[in-house]
Chains A and B, each alone.
Chain A
């Protein structure tokens, strides 16, 4: 079946540091890949997505590239802000699971001034 593995957290960075959160996946067929973000006390919000190999999703300075050869979808941001502190989830959908999402375990990011 489908699975998503995210890097272990929590991740603590200083403001303006470079961020990478690793995500790898196992899936049948050609899944779509997503990054969701969860701010304290809130639900998940879609951050970005990519629906086919070599697509790059981007939003709010965050980027992730769908790498089919390495089955990866790593999240990056060149300069993080305190307001980026949140939990980040990598997820996939598609193939035999249709629209049902499979999530990674989440990575807690804390950014200090």
Chain B
């Protein structure tokens, strides 16, 4: 299994509070991704990174920010959480951005915003 650790695994918080999710990898892969999983939508890309300090927006980036100060860590921040951000969040990594290379996923963080 790819060495990907997401933390926390579960979190419950209140509307308006800031939340940071962490993805840590031990594979030294250059590319990292954050997705959210919601019923009926599959997984949708929030943000991705193609190197240290290099990030870009995905399909559903509003209300989220990311940072990558080290190769191994990719942080996802909800500056002011809303109930619509209740979801399961997955981090993924890959060796390259060539489309034929698969991504490897962490076990997810279940986030509930009350």
What distance in Å separates the Cβ of B40 from its nearest Cβ neighbour in chain A?
A: 6
8 Å CB interface, A43-74 against B: 43-46, 49, 51
Binds A, one of B61-69, B75-83, B98-106: B98-106
Cα of A44 to Cα of B59 in the assembled complex, Å: 19
Q: Compute the total of residue contacts between A and B using a CB distance below 8 Å.
A: 67
Say whether B43 contacts A99, CB under 8 Å. no
Q: A43-B108, A46-B104, A99-B94 are in contact. Are A89 and B43 (CB under 8 A)?
A: yes
Contact surface of B with A, Cβ cutoff 8 Å: 4, 31, 33, 40-45, 48, 58, 90, 92, 94, 96-108
- 7 more contacts with CB within 8 A, not counting A98-B97, A100-B45, A101-B92, are A4-B42, A43-B106, A94-B100, A98-B99, A100-B58, A103-B43, A106-B42
Contact surface of A with B, Cβ cutoff 8 Å: 4, 31-32, 34, 36, 41-46, 49, 51, 89, 91-95, 97-101, 103-106
